[in-house]
Amino acid sequence: MIGVMFREEKLLIIRRSLTVNAPGKLCLPGGGIEAGESEEEALVREMQEELTIDVTPRRLCWRSVTPWGTRLAWWLAEFPDQVDPVPNPEEVSEVHWMTANEIVQARGTLPSLPEFVAAWRKSEIDLPWKDSSQT
């Protein structure tokens, strides 16, 4: 389960801590779904655990499968503009707000992140912001 959150035309991106799987990689925040938990409940829990923010799930915006077979559900979510994410250092080392171009040019991303941007640019994903770098 992945959280897709915008401020203006920038996505909330995290750098994973060095103590988790895929250490130091850039990605959107998210994690696994626990037994008995819905995707929306997992989204709320993961954003609180990783970034100490209370999000409101809006809708599922995309599904994908990683090269190693992990199924991902990408959820559009919101949290108040006056709230700044505070990373839990056990899981997240940095928080960034990045444009689509910045994401594509970044080194050290999980493969799913540029795939998400490519699908967004092809209008395969309905998001509240258009990628203005493509106009």
Residues 13-32, buried b or exposed e (16+ Cβ, 10 A)?
bbbbbeeeeeeeebbbbbbe
At 128 the pLDDT is 79
At 133 the pLDDT is 60
pLDDT in tens, 17-32: 999 999 999 999 999 9
Q: Give the separation between CA 11 and CA 103, rounded to whole angstroms.
A: 9
64 neighbors 72 (Cβ within 8 angstroms)? yes
pTM listed for this prediction: 0.92
Structure tokens at 132: 């203005």
Architecture of the domain delimited by 2-134: Alpha-Beta Complex (3.90)
At 9 the pLDDT is 86
Residue owning tokens 């829990």: 45
Q: Which residues of the chain have pLDDT under 70?
A: 130-135
At 93 the pLDDT is 98
At 135 the pLDDT is 46
At 126 the pLDDT is 83
